[in-house]
Amino acid sequence: MARAATILELERAIERLGARPAAPGPVASTGVPALDALLPGGGLPRGRVVEWIGPRSSGKTALLRAGLARLRGVGESVAWIDAGRTLYAPDWADLVPGEGEFWVVRPRDDVEMAWCADLLLRSGAFGAVALHGPGGGAEVLRRSATVRLQRLAEEAGALFVVLGEVRLAALRLGFRPGRVEPVRGVPFGPFLPPSRPVWVRVGKRGSAEIPILCPVPVRRRPPATRDRKGPE
Q: Is the C-alpha dihedral spanning 67, 73, 79, 83 positive or negative? A: positive
Distance between CA atoms of residues 177 and 226, nearest Å: 28
Does residue 148 belong to any structural domain of this protein?
yes
Q: How many folded domains does the chain comprise?
A: 1
* Residue 84 pLDDT grade (very low, low, confident, very high; cuts 50, 70, 90): confident
Cβ burial 29-52 (10 Å sphere, 16+ → b, else e): bbbbeebbebbeeebbbbbbbbbb
Residue 228 lies in a domain: no
Residue 219 lies in a domain: no
- Across the chain, which distance is largest between two alpha carbons, in Å? 62
> Would you say residue 148 has pLDDT above 50?
yes
CATH number (domain holding residue 173): 3.40.50.300
Question: Residue 101: inside a domain, yes or no?
Answer: yes
- pLDDT (tens digit per residue) in 36-51: 999 989 999 999 999 9
| Domain-embedded: residue 7 | no
Position 231 confidence tier, pLDDT thresholds 50, 70, 90: very low
Handedness of CA 19, 23, 27, 30 (dihedral sign): negative
Quick check: is 21 in a domain?
no
Global pTM value: 0.83
pLDDT at 192 over 70: no
pLDDT by residue (tens digit) across 154-185? 999 999 999 999 988 999 999 988 777 777 77
Question: CA 58, 63, 64 angle in degrees (round to 5)?
Answer: 115
Domain containing 92: what range?
28-214
Is 61 strand, coil or helix?
A: helix
Report phi then psi at 224, rounded to 5. Answer: -65, 135
For the chain, give the number of residues.
Answer: 232
Tell whether the model's pLDDT for residue 129 goes beyond 60: yes
| pLDDT greater than 80 at residue 19 | no
Residue 1 forms part of a structural domain: no
